[in-house]
Each structure stands twice: as C-alpha cells, then as structure tokens.
Structure 1
Amino acid sequence: MLLIIFFLGTTFWLSAQERPAFAEEVEALTQKNDSLWDPNKETIVFTGSSSIRKWDNLQASFPEHQVLNAGFGGSQASDLLYYLDTLVLRYNPTKVFIYEGDNDISAKKRPRKIIGTTETIIGKLKRQNPDMKIVLISAKPSISRWHLRRKYKRLNRKFLRLTKKDESLLFADVWYPMLNGKEVKKDIFVSDGLHMNSKGYDIWYNTMQHLVNNP
C-alpha cells in the first residue's frame, strides 16, 4: 500500500514538473484576453517577451482598434511558436506585432536560428490567414545588454531582409530611436536597465503608430 502511495505521489510530482514553461502565465493571459475579445471586431495582437507584456497602456494607446496584449515575460521565439495557437491564432487577427529575439540573443542563440524560428512562426500565421499583416519589431538596445549590441544589430538586419521578401511583412525599427548618438538613452529604462519606463514606450508608440493605423 505504501509502495502504491509512493508511486502515485512520484507520478503526480513528475507530471507537475513536466508542465511546459510559461504554462500558468499563458493560461492566465488567455483567460484575460478571452474576456476582452469581441470576435465581431478586427483584432490586432501584440505578442512577444516582457517588453510587450509590460506595455500596460497598449490598448488605451490605440483606442480605435481592438488590440490584445499577448506578451509573456522571458519568452524566446521558440516559446512563441509553441504557444502560437493559444496566444495568437485563436483570436483570428488581421495584424500581428511580434517582439522576440531579445532574450534569444541573451541566451546565446545565433541570429540564424532565431530567423529560422521566426520564419516558421510567419508560415503558421499565414496558413491561417494569407492576408495577415505581420510586423517584426526590431530588438531594442538596452543598458544591461549593450555588450551584445553587435549581435542585436546583426539580428535586426536579418529581420529587415526577411520583411523585404513579402509585402505583408513589415519592420518596426525601435533600435535607432532609442539611441542618443552611438549610445543607448539612459532615461528610458527602469532601474534594471533592461525594461522600459513610460519614456521608452512613448518611443515605441511613435514608431508603431502608423503601422497600427494603416490597413
């Protein structure tokens, strides 16, 4: 009897440990977006890592559109691919903004690998809606990851080249607006030097406003 209890307890512990990364956050986020989503309206989804998740006034910034924030902190492109159906495709969006690559580079993934995963994401989105507009947001510069700037710039060049292959793929360059000359602006970040304050998000808004509003 004790052996059976031990076996069942071990099985339960292992199953809990084997839950995919971000599962709880994605479940909570999906419940929130389900409650906000009106299927009768065209939908724009912003997704990606914490720079999207922490854009608290995203919906309020674009009041003329139905915008859902599907950002989940710490994610990489491979994580977005895993949760693409749950976070994005279930809302049948006409336009998707993607911010991934920041954490990938920090995790020592090569730009080529990130681009390959991004192409797979794009392909999956396009299979549901060939007319969908997809906006790739460039990796941003930051104080804490400034030492990786050459790799980020290489990734951004690859993102830009990728968007030139298809008119429905667009590129939002937040890299250069966040610089002061050749250095990153210091007053647009919170204390960790990675995440942005309201000044940083003002730059993002100004960079993406026309991409949201244009058909």
Structure 2
Amino acid sequence: MDRPSRTRATDTRISIPGAAAALACVVLALLAGACGTTPAPAAGSTAASAPLAGRLDPVSSPDWEADMARFAAEDEAHAPPSEPVVFAGSSSFRMWDSLRADFPGTPVLNRGFGGSQVRDLAWHADPVAIRYRPRVVLLYAGENDIDAGRTPAQVLADTRLLVARLRTALPDTRILWVSIKPSPARFAQRPLQREANARVEAWLRDQPGTGYVDVATPMLDASGQPRSELFIADRLHMNARGYAIWRDAIAPLLR
C-alpha cells in the first residue's frame, strides 16, 4: 500500500539567471544527444533501450503533432490567460472537463494529450507549457510509460530531462508532479507505478521550486485496492468523484 497521503511543495519563485544559463547549455547538450550523431532507439523499443546519460528517446507516437496543432488553433481562436496554471500530461488531465469549475478564480489551461508519456512532454514542452510563461506547471505522466513496458528508472530519467528543460526556460515557475494514480484496469502494474512514484518523489526533494502531489493514496481503499466508485466504465479514467480527490490535493498548492 502507498505511504500515508500527503502533498509537498518546496520553496518556489526562485530566480537564478546564471545557473539557469549554465543549465540551458547542459539541457541543450542532452537533447542534442538524443537527435545528434548517436542514433536514438526507435519508439516502442524495449527496456534495453533505456535512456542513457544525456539521452532522450524519440516521441512515443508522431500522432502528437495533431494535438500540438489543436492547441495552436485553440490559442488562435481564444487567447490563453496570462501567467496560467498549466495542466500538461496524458488523458487523466485531458479528460478533466471540470478543470475551470474546480479551480475558480485561477487561470487554468488544460494541455493534456491522451496516451502521452513523459518523453512526449519533454519533446513538446514548448507548445504545451513553455510558450505560456505559466506561474505553475502541473505534470501528469508515467502511467502510460509503465503500461508500454518502460521501467520506473526510465520514468525518472525522462522526468529529470523534462523538469530540466522546463526549469531552464522557466526559472521562476513552480513545477508540480502529480503521482501516478492506481486504477482497477491497471492494478497489476501497481508495484511498478509505486516504484516510479517513489523514485520521482525522492529526486524532487532536492529540486528547488518543485513539488510532489500524492493523489494515489486517497484513491485506495482500506485494503489497498483502487476505489471502484472513482472510475468510469473503462475502469481506467476517473469520474467526478475521482477528480474531486485530485482537486482537493492540488488546490492548496495553488493559493
């Protein structure tokens, strides 16, 4: 069973231009390594192609380009809010239809694209987050990575590159990582999900301006099973009661 429920956010709004510039060089070198002279493993490859130091695997699907075009069209039709709170991640964010109602008075922007993995957020960090100059970015990813056969170590490695890219471009922005949720449909993967959560949480403790949001623990019953009443018929995605748990965990960190 997951550890007792808690949310944690470290001190934020830290501006370190010199360090950010240095980090920019490092991140550019890391990302260049993924598309430069060293061939990157093909999308969908096995755990043997885990990202090495300075490596980021290709996007998991080229279909995300259509989502990026959709975001651009939405921005063209309706100007996004200034300094928003951006929710960037996979379908658990994309399907959060009550996002604005759940955070009244907060300029929220939903940039979830279903099926995405951590590396997809890293490659598409600009169109889903950086371009909006957000005051807070919430990330939800890792669940699809585990389902696709990637390891907790890969989830952490990709998360480190993702956070580094965001921090380089957005030195004063808070970055909150929402834990991988348990679900009846993927409960067999729960040990790997739990390990990925633990790895990311431990790493974030030493990263200024970041936070870990535990939504997993309150979604489990007393026996450690996912609470079935929180999910829609596919037993994977959440209903309003599930999103209420996420709202209650996130809202205090946005005040």
Report the TM-score range of the alignment, normalised by the length of the smaller protein.
0.7 to 0.9
| Runs of 5+ consecutive residues of structure 1 not aligned to the other structure | 1-18
Mapped pair 1:187 → 2:229: yes
Q: CA RMSD in A?
A: 1.3
| Runs of 5+ consecutive residues of structure 2 not aligned to the other structure | 1-60
Rg larger in 1 or in 2? Answer: 1
Note the 1:1-215 alignment, pairs <5 A: 20-34=62-76, 35-38=78-81, 41-181=82-222, 182-213=224-255
Identity %: 34
User: Separation in 2 of the partners of 1:81 and 1:166?
Assistant: 17
Give the structure-2-normalised TM-score. 0.73
User: Separation in 2 of the partners of 1:184 and 1:191?
Assistant: 14
User: Separation in 1 of the partners of 2:74 and 2:151?
Assistant: 34
SS of residue matched to 2:230: coil
| CA displacement at 1:25 relative to structure 2 | 2.1
Change (3 A) 1:126 1:141: same
User: Separation in 2 of the partners of 1:33 and 1:150?
Assistant: 39
| CA displacement at 1:20 relative to structure 2 | 2.2
User: Separation in 1 of the partners of 2:233 and 2:66?
Assistant: 27
User: Separation in 2 of the partners of 1:49 and 1:90?
Assistant: 19
User: Separation in 1 of the partners of 2:245 and 2:174?
Assistant: 22
| CA displacement at 1:33 relative to structure 2 | 4.1
| CA displacement at 1:180 relative to structure 2 | 0.6
User: Separation in 1 of the partners of 2:136 and 2:130?
Assistant: 11
SS of residue matched to 1:139: coil
Query: Residue type matched to 2:229 in 1?
Result: D
User: Separation in 2 of the partners of 1:74 and 1:160?
Assistant: 22
SS of residue matched to 1:160: helix
Q: Number of matched residues? A: 193
Give the structure-1-normalised TM-score. 0.86
Q: Which moved more, 1:190-199 or 1:158-167?
A: 158-167
Could you list the per-position Cα deviations for residues 172-209 of structure 1 after superposition, in whole angstroms to 9, with x for gaps in the alignment? 00110101111110111001110000010011101111
Query: Is the CA contact 1:33–1:68 (under 8 Å) kept in the aligned structure 2?
Result: no
| CA displacement at 1:62 relative to structure 2 | 1.4
Query: Residue type matched to 2:245 in 1?
Result: I
Q: Which moved more, 1:161-170 or 1:50-59?
A: 161-170
User: Separation in 2 of the partners of 1:205 and 1:186?
Assistant: 18
User: Separation in 1 of the partners of 2:254 and 2:236?
Assistant: 25
User: Separation in 2 of the partners of 1:205 and 1:92?
Assistant: 23
Q: Which moved more, 1:54-63 or 1:95-104?
A: 54-63
| CA displacement at 1:57 relative to structure 2 | 1.2
User: Separation in 1 of the partners of 2:89 and 2:192?
Assistant: 19
- Return the structure number with greater relative CO, CA threshold 8 A, min gap 6: 2
| CA displacement at 1:86 relative to structure 2 | 1.0
Query: Is the CA contact 1:75–1:100 (under 8 Å) kept in the aligned structure 2?
Result: yes
